[in-house]
Chain A
Amino acid sequence: MTAVPTNMTLPVKPGVASSNSRDRRMMRNGLMFSAPAVFLLLAIYILPMLLLAVFSVTDYQLGALSIRFIGLENFIKAFHDAVFLRALSNTVLYAALVIPFGVFLALGVALLVHGTKRSRAFWEVAYFLPVTATLVAMATVWQFLLHPSLGPVNAAIKWLGFEPVSFLSNPSLLIPTMALIGIWQVLGFNMVLFLAGLTAISKDLYEAARLDGAKSSLDRFLTVTWPMLGPTTMFVIVTTSISAFKVFETVAVLTKGRSGSETLLFALYLEGFEYSNTGYAAALTLIFLAIVLVLSIGQTLHLDRKVHY
């Protein structure tokens, strides 16, 4: 506030005074411009994180009148809770199916698409379409596609002379079926990331490899493409695993957790928002967060270096 009058009363050294007042004005602007973001950061991230940590060591239930400190009991309970352990192992199984297929099929498709010229745009659209589509609606479509008597998938299976597969009623097939949909959805996303990585590889490297005796295309893939794609592959694996651990929509549409098919986030949703076991759900949330954090620290380090287009 005093910066402006000071400037006017000291006309002898205008340079120093004005740079001083400019610094102050810049400081004030900086604080003012970032104030809304700082306020929201506090309200949406920092305060909720603190609350979450507090909830996790209490027996708080939304709507309950009393709240009691119970230490790490919620965490101990979680690792003896059959439902939570099942959700955890289901999610790990889901991720173990989605990550390899979602990443390496995408790499295969990207390599093929990269080799095409005029039709490239068409293939990109075809494989990317599932990424843009609303997953809830598409999961409903998949439910219909896999219907035991009305679905075209089983019609095709029967036509080929096999027994129809009960994708959505056989409990041991529920998670693999959802993984199938997960792979279908993530494939185009990963393909585009791989295509960006492939485009960035210099043609000279292939020429050099050819002169060095890498004759077959497999040789060239192993000596040039694969090592040069290393960072991209790492990034794709990390993003795919994070999204795999967040699987929710397909469960909500297809099974609602029946026959022991709940995933981490769905179990968390039930505890926190259906049963209102706030304290216990907070502990589960922290476990979920720990898993995602371990996965996403790698991602953010990468993101920090270069934003992926």
Chain B
Amino acid sequence: MTALRKLTPHAVLALGAIVMLFPFYWMVLTSIRSPAEVFDVSFWPIPKSFDAVENYSQAAGQVPMARFMLNGVIVCLGILVMQVLTAVPAAYALAKLRFPGRRLLLSLVIAALCVPIQALALPLFVGLAKADLLNTYFAMMAPFFLSVFAIFLFHQSFRSYPNEIIEAARLDGFSELEICWRLVLRGSLPSLAAFTVFSLVAHWNDLYWPMIVVSDTNLAPPPLGMLFFADVETGANYGALMAGATLITAPMLVCFLLVRRHFIAGITMTGVK
């Protein structure tokens, strides 16, 4: 009886986990199978003929998969660097300096937290179109240069930094920039790590904005590239398609498995996805 009570939760969880993980299993399995085996549906994990090389090289050859990944890296890193550069000083000013308009700025930041990018997309698109900036890396990154969420998060975290240390550092001749970046930010490294994960995952996976401002295949980040690829394929070659899907999901999944704690903290810190 007690053994049963102990085992039942595990059995239920295992059943659910199979459903959750099955798409990943099928994706990887199909990506290493030969087309013939794709057609006679079999759940057996070891393919009869191992076609991984063919499928992956087809995924990389038919569409510029490496290019998509590179674009993703450029866009994600560009956004992250700008977000940190703009949010950290603002958060420090809001948390530790007195200046006119401080309360107004804080209220605006909190109000802006409620506004999703999809609501701003239209005027931003018109502006970028008028400036002839569509189909550029800049257009893909610009709306995200400011993360109000980062300001909010760092503000919360910086507030608890002891004022005595800041005062002492000022007396020792530290400049305000040094205090902000070298002392206060160092005290908030867990927040920085969580925000990094949050930002990278959000922008690596984003489809909506790139789909609006980019039509050039050479600039497409992974999700948009995947969409192009799926349209080109129209379901004829599932092996290559699944190889492409595997390549695109792999970086985030590998990072997740490596730094699980930071990842879960980073993604669930907010519902703003």
Contact = CB atoms under 8 A, between A and B. Distances in A.
A192 B20 contact: no
B139 interface: no
B114 A265 contact: no
A293 interface: yes
Interface string A149-160: 011100100000
B13 A116 contact: yes
A167 interface: no
| Interface secondary structure of B, over-half rule | helix
Q: How big is the B interface, by class?
A: 35 or more
Contacts of B100: 27, 31
Q: Which residue of B98, B205, B265 has the most chain A CB atoms within 10 A of its CB atom? A: B205
A307 B10 CA distance: 31
Given A150-B38, A253-B230, A296-B114, A134 B252 contact: yes
Contacts of A226: none
A3 interface: no
Given A121-B260, A129-B21, A288-B118, A41 B268 contact: no
A141 interface: yes
Given A134-B226, A141-B242, A150-B238, A26 B263 contact: no
Contact of A37 (B12, B86, B253): B86
A137 B226 contact: yes
Considering residues B113, B151, B212, B230, which has the most beta carbons from chain A within 10 angstroms of its beta carbon?
B230
A307 B118 contact: no
Nearest to B224: A136
Interface of B: 9-10, 12-13, 16-17, 19-24, 26-27, 30, 38-39, 41, 43, 85-87, 89-90, 92-94, 97-102, 105, 108-110, 112-116, 118-127, 129, 142-143, 145-146, 148, 151-153, 156, 176, 180, 194, 201, 204-205, 207-208, 211-212, 222-224, 226-227, 230, 235, 238, 241-242, 244-245, 248-249, 252-253, 256-257, 260, 263-265, 267-271, 273
Interface of A: 23, 26-31, 33-34, 36-38, 40-41, 44-49, 51-52, 55, 62, 109, 112-113, 115-116, 119, 121, 123-138, 140-145, 147, 150-152, 155, 184, 187-189, 192-193, 196, 235, 238-240, 242-243, 246, 248-249, 252-253, 265, 268-269, 272-273, 278, 281-282, 285, 288-289, 292-293, 296-297, 299-300, 303-304, 307-309
8 closest Cβ pairs, A-B complex: A239-B271, A30-B99, A37-B90, A40-B146, A30-B97, A48-B123, A33-B93, A136-B223
22 contacts: A27-B97, A29-B99, A30-B97, A34-B105, A44-B124, A44-B145, A45-B108, A46-B108, A112-B13, A127-B16, A129-B24, A134-B249, A136-B207, A137-B223, A141-B242, A184-B20, A248-B118, A253-B227, A265-B118, A288-B118, A293-B114, A307-B270
